[in-house]
């Protein structure tokens, strides 16, 4: 179950609390509520956080929300179904109308691969039905999430599904996650050679540090 003490709830949020990537946060804050919560410890190597969006626009105009892409895969449960959303390479937009809610699982960048069992690049700009990975249990989980009354219950159902297929940690995925976190946290990293130096990696067989393939820098 998700640790409710670690929850970062943003309800009727100010624009600054909407988080990075939400465009027009001043408008978004008045149109939907957003809550985030941390995963339980065994899932922390794979899951960055859970997010829940609720809206009630009955009798009001619909709202179109644009989101800047991040290098994260999401598992999303909503009334119409559940899907695995790969990394978008363009602006993501979603129209909200009436009343509804959505629960999403944001995976740590690079760390959905152990669940998927194949290169995550296969999912770029794609939405894949979650049943492809989780089978019939996914639909039972989606229904339970949609019927749940509290955020804690929603995330508990999602965690149970993830535990049903919990993989072993993947050192390569964890390394990728560390590199992405480093790039995200340090705006001074503008060139490949800077990243190589900061991360302890080196560009394999390249000239001028323009390669995109990496290897662990030799120790000593």
Q: What is the pLDDT of residue 110?
A: 87
Provide the strand spans (E) within the chain: 8-10, 33-37, 47-56, 63-67, 74-78, 81-85, 92-96, 99-107, 127-129, 201-203, 214-216
Domain coordinates in residue numbering, the chain = 4-164, 171-216
77, 103 contact by CB (below 8 A): yes
Q: Which of 172, 188, 168 is nearest to 120 (CA)?
A: 172
Q: What is the pLDDT of residue 100?
A: 97
- For 178-212, what is each residue's pLDDT tens digit? 666 666 666 676 666 666 666 666 555 444 444 44
Cα torsion angle, 3, 35, 75, 92, sign:
negative
- For 35-83, what is each residue's pLDDT tens digit? 999 999 999 999 999 999 999 999 999 999 999 888 899 999 999 999 9
Q: What is the pTM of this model?
A: 0.76
Q: What is the pLDDT of residue 86?
A: 96
């Amino acid at each position: 179950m998700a640790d409710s003490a670690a929850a970062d709830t943003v309800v009727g949020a100010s624009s600054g609390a909407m988080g990075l990537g939400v465009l027009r946060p001043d408008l978004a804050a008045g149109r939907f509520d957003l809550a985030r919560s941390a995963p339980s410890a065994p899932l922390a190597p794979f899951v960055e956080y859970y997010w829940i969006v609720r809206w009630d626009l009955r009798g009001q105009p619909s709202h179109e929300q644009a989101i800047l892409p991040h290098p994260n895969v999401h598992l999303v449960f909503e009334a119409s179904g559940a899907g695995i959303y790969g990394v978008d390479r363009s602006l993501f937009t979603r129209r909200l109308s009436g009343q509804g809610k959505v629960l999403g699982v944001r995976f740590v960048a690079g760390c959905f691969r152990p669940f998927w069992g194949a290169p995550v690049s296969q999912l770029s700009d794609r939405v894949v039905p979650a049943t492809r990975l989780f089978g019939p249990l996914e639909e039972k989980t989606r229904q339970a999430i949609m019927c749940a009354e509290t955020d804690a219950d929603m995330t508990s159902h999602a965690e149970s599904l993830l535990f049903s297929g919990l993989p072993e940690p993947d050192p390569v995925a964890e390394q990728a996650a560390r590199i992405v976190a480093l790039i995200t946290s340090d705006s001074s990293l503008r060139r490949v050679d800077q990243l190589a130096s900061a991360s302890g990696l080196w560009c394999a067989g390249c000239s001028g540090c323009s390669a995109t393939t990496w290897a662990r820098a030799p120790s000593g």
